[in-house]
Chains A and B, each alone.
Chain A
Amino acid sequence: MKPLAMSTGAGQIVRQTRAGWAFLFPALSLIGVFFFVPVLIGLGLSFTDFDIYAIGDPTTARLVGLANYKAVVTNPLFWQVLGNTLYFVFVGGPLSVLVSLGAALLVHAKRNRFPGFFRTVYFTPVVTTLVAVAIVWRYLDHPKYGLVNFMLTSLHLPAVDWLGDPHFAMPAIMILSVWKNFGYNMLIFLAGLANIPEEQYEAAQLDGASWLQRFRHVTMPGLTATFMFVAVITMLGNFQIFSEPYVMTQGGPLRSTTTVVLWMYEEGFRWWRMGFAAAIAFVLFLIMGLGTFIQMRVAPTEDS
């Protein structure tokens, strides 16, 4: 492309090749050694009975074929923790996306005189430390002294034993999660909204379209790609939920908030059943892949 001899000469090719690999070397070796290699070892591990004895002496681990995978899917606890995780993914996730969209529409509204201020405020929980705010919410959710129940009873609604009742523990975690994360997707929606040409709204307004019609026929189609992206990253993130139940409920009561990753953590790092835990990790990976595939398929087709 460039007529300059510099950028195409043989000397340049050698020089840029050498420099290129040298510049990539630190990143590639770190990612290779500390990510790709462990993923492959993990796959291998999942076909062995690697346990606490094997940590002392790895030669005691034996190949067991698919026994770990069989043990995972025949364990009733697996179906319970998968159910809990799916509940969080498919109820908590859409809830979070809706709140994000609502917040984005409010912040984006033309009449909003302080968009920067509200954007920052809504985003604040995203950068807080999850462990710390999960502890805060533990106290907010306290059945007797917590602010959440205080507000409910002030509105003449019944108080709830949020973290002590198996029916309410997961919803309490969803509320924490929506509060903590909605600002992130809000920002992405705001960027999507900013990309919708103003003329489309003006044209719709000239045609006498109401606010709702403009939302349905201009805003929503304009956000299709954004929606798709937000839905997938939210789903993938939510499948990996761990710290919230670890800090708030330790997976209880009655295992109602034990998620797949929390179970993997317990099996792997509390009981040191590494082979079994590795199989849990790969089962989760497969389920996440399947989830992404389905979302891509059901999504309305769009260019790019």
Chain B
Amino acid sequence: MSARRPAIALHLALAAGAALTLVPLLWMVSASLMPPGEATLFPPRFLPRVVTFEHYIALFTRLNVSRALFNSALVSVGATLGSVLINGMAGYAFAKLRFAGRDKVFRALLSALVIPAQVGMLPLFLLLKSMGLVNTLVGVMIPGLANVFGIFLVRQYALSIPDDLLDAARLDGAGEWKIFRTIVAPVLSPILVTLAAFTFLSMWNDFLWPLIVLSDDRKYTLPVALAGLVGEHVQDTELMMAGAVVTVLPALLVFLALQRAYVRGILAGGVKG
């Protein structure tokens, strides 16, 4: 039996790690279902004595969280669609269309990766202000529409498209846009799903930029609304946990649905080649 012992120890360690990872999230869900005051008892309760949805009801009626949920969804979906089209086209062009200056431009873009976003944030705010885009959802979306990492991701994938495939379509008289739409896009679809998952989650979870751009609380995205809510309702633990669940849950569902594609993106960025 001693040969089994390392395997048991390993699984105990794995399970302990899983418990530490999941307890904060499970407690969040559990506390969100407790009546007011129950999450701040000592010793702490892990499960609600009676399950109540009153905090969720309060969020969606009195506190108007549905508006923030809608704003977050709009910003995330809008930026995702834009990002897939814009970065998809650019990534394909960098990989497969031959023209002078292409590689120079690509290298210049890659150099942008070393510049932290904060460096451009203050002037970007002033720029959007002069364009009348401050305090609009379009202003929140703009930095998510085109990004160097997305272009890089698509380019690396598109490099494997055989030239013969494209040349054959050209011989048949297809235009470049038609080739992109009917031949390239289907081949690229796995990496475009990856890009979509990345863009959606980063827009959904983003905080600093929407915090800067939005001043009207009716335009707030969920994270900004939640950070505002904690200022007024810091004592209402159970209510805040319900707000956290509403914010986290859509991100988790999108991740679980697109897990394979999302992981592929991380590995494409992380592994050389």
Binding site for B on A (CB under 8 A): 2, 4, 6-7, 12-13, 15-17, 19-24, 26-28, 30-31, 33-39, 41-42, 45, 55, 103, 106-107, 109, 111-114, 118, 120-125, 127-133, 135-140, 142, 144-147, 150, 179, 183-184, 187-188, 191-192, 195, 225-226, 229-230, 236, 239-240, 242-243, 246-247, 261, 264-265, 268-269, 274, 277-278, 281-282, 284-285, 288-289, 292, 304
Contact = CB atoms under 8 A, between A and B. Distances in A.
A4 B171 CA distance: 10
A13 B100 CA distance: 9
A118 B14 contact: yes
B122 to A, nearest CB: 5
Contacts of A7: 98, 163, 167
Contacts of A120: 256, 259
A281 B25 contact: no
A220 to B, nearest CB: 18
Which among A19, A39, A131 has the highest number of chain B CB atoms within 10 Å?
Answer: A131
Contact of B86 (A27, A33, A236): A27
Interface of B: 6-7, 10-11, 13-14, 17-18, 20-25, 27-28, 31, 39-44, 85-87, 89-90, 92-94, 97-100, 102, 105, 109, 112, 114-127, 129, 142-143, 145-148, 151, 163-164, 167, 170-171, 176-177, 180, 201, 204-205, 207-208, 212, 222-224, 226-227, 230, 237, 240-241, 243-245, 247-248, 251-252, 254-256, 259, 262-263, 266-267, 270-272
Contact of B241 (A2, A4, A139, A179): A139
Given A16-B176, A139-B241, A265-B208, A112 B10 contact: yes
A19 B92 CA distance: 11
A147 B44 contact: yes
B251 A128 contact: yes
22 contacts: A16-B99, A34-B120, A34-B142, A35-B112, A38-B122, A39-B119, A107-B14, A111-B10, A112-B14, A125-B24, A128-B252, A132-B28, A133-B28, A135-B244, A136-B24, A144-B42, A187-B267, A191-B267, A246-B227, A265-B212, A288-B116, A304-B272
A179 B119 contact: no
A191 B90 CA distance: 28
Nearest to B226: A131
Contact of A28 (B6, B39, B105): B105
Nearest to A103: B17
A22 B124 CA distance: 25
Contact of B251 (A2, A129, A269): A129
Given A6-B170, A128-B251, A247-B227, A187 B263 contact: yes
A179 B19 CA distance: 12
Contacts of A41: 123, 126-127
Nearest to A6: B167
Contacts of A242: 207-208
Contacts of B44: 145-147, 150
A111 B14 CA distance: 11
B116 A284 contact: yes
Given A131-B223, A265-B208, A284 B93 contact: no
A41 to B, nearest CB: 4
B122 A23 contact: no
A150 B27 CA distance: 13
B180 A122 contact: no
Given A2-B167, A16-B98, A285-B115, 16 more contacts: A23-B93, A42-B123, A45-B123, A103-B17, A118-B17, A122-B18, A124-B252, A124-B255, A135-B244, A139-B241, A188-B266, A226-B270, A240-B118, A246-B207, A281-B118, A292-B114
A147 B124 CA distance: 41
Contacts of B226: 131-132, 135
Nearest to A140: B24
B270 A188 contact: yes
A133 B22 CA distance: 12
A185 to B, nearest CB: 9
Nearest to A261: B118
B144 to A, nearest CB: 10
Contact of B89 (A26, A129, A225, A229): A26
Nearest to A128: B248
Nearest to B90: A27
Contacts of B241: 136, 139
Contact of A129 (B248, B263, B271): B248
Contacts of B123: 37-39, 41-42, 45, 278
Contacts of B99: 13, 16-17, 20-21
A30 B145 contact: yes
B120 A125 contact: no
B111 to A, nearest CB: 10
A109 B10 CA distance: 8
B80 to A, nearest CB: 15
A26 B18 contact: no
